[in-house]
Amino acid sequence: MKSLIIANWKMNPRTYREARVLFEGTRRAADKAPGVSLVVLPPSIFIRELAKDRRGKVAFGMQSVSADSDGPHTGDISLLQAKDARATYALIGHAERRAAGETSVDTQAKVKAALLSKFTPVLCVGEKERTPNGEYLAVVREQLRIGLAEAPATSLKKVVIAYEPVWAIGAKVPMSPRDMHEMSIYIRKTIFEMHGEAAHSVKIIYGGSIDETTAVPMLTEGDVDGLLPGRVSLEIERFKKMLVNIADA
């Protein structure tokens, strides 16, 4: 199966011109990496213009979306508007959005709305810190149970879970693949308790300080279907190297 790589540009780069250059490099890198299915999450204001270029096979996604379809929601963007700009993925509950006030109940409504609008929801979960008594497992479980409560079992093949421990985002090194392997099993088990066999169709990806050297070990030993890189997706040479390494692995 192809590795799903979701490049989260966050609030970068500063201008559309720079975004265009970055996207051109990204698209070319993706063309040379047949084993990779690439999704780019630019700042939403750039998506429509970038997506006009139909060459290549890069998909687009939103870094955040509203669960509402219209109305008095200043600053928000609806799924319908995002679809109109050619986005097909929706990142939901990223740690930086949760820190800004997004709750698990909000993520539940967004996952439901995304599925209804035929988007691929990418639900981010992850604990803030790891304490020795294993409380982090309860945190992840709660985020999954609430976030997926309105997602019918039959829709799970469309759902991506991005495990992103907050302590590994913007850090020096990612979590170890071995620890991710354990977490993947735990995530699947939690979803299995909710939805039974359909849990096996959910894609699980990892995010947090992934780069061109750590991507392959994480994909081969971490029991994940893909990755959610942040900073490295802004440095085109390193990003290219990462995709080539994945394609060669």
Smallest gap from Cβ 208 to ligand PGA, in A, equals 5
Residue 42 lies near ligand PGA (rule: CB under 6 A)? no
DSSP 24: H
Closest CB to ligand PGA among residues 152, 170: 170
Smallest gap from Cβ 124 to ligand PGA, in A, equals 8
Residue in the structure block whose two tokens are 């990806």: 205
Return the closest-CA partner of residue 55 out of 76, 35, 26: 26
Closest CB to ligand PGA among residues 176, 201: 176
DSSP 92: E
Smallest gap from Cβ 234 to ligand PGA, in A, equals 9
Segment 125 to 184, residues that bind ligand PGA, using CB under 6 A: 164, 169-170
How many CB atoms are located within 10 Å of the residue 220 CB? 12
Q: Which of 151, 214, 230, 239 binds ligand PGA (CB under 6 A)?
A: 230
Segment 8 to 27, residues that bind ligand PGA, using CB under 6 A: 8
The catalytic residue among 102, 164, 195, 212 is: 164
- Catalytic, 181? Answer no
Given a contact cutoff of 8 angstroms between Cβ atoms, the answer to whether 19 and 42 are in contact is yes
* Residue 196, helix vs strand vs coil: helix
Cα–Cα distance measured from residue 193 to residue 203, given in angstroms and rounded to the nearest whole number = 16
Smallest gap from Cβ 210 to ligand PGA, in A, equals 6
- Catalytic, 182? Answer no
Closest CB to ligand PGA among residues 175, 199: 175
Extended beta strands in 93-165, E state:
120-125, 160-163
Closest CB to ligand PGA among residues 158, 238: 238
Cα–Cα distance measured from residue 124 to residue 58, given in angstroms and rounded to the nearest whole number = 21
Question: Alpha carbon of 199 to those of 24, 65, 79, 152, 192: distances in Å?
Answer: 36, 25, 25, 11, 5
Residue 228 lies near ligand PGA (rule: CB under 6 A)? yes
Find how far residue 147's CA is from the centre of its chain: 14
Smallest gap from Cβ 67 to ligand PGA, in A, equals 21
* Residue 102, helix vs strand vs coil: coil
Q: Write the interaction track for ligand PGA spanning residues 184-223; mark x where CB under 6 A is met and - where it is not.
A: -----------------------xxxx-------------
Which residue type is seen at 234?
A: L
The catalytic residue among 94, 96, 102, 127 is: 94
| Active centre residues (catalytic) | 94, 164
Residue ranges that bind ligand PGA, judged by CB under 6 A: 8, 164, 169-170, 207-210, 228-231
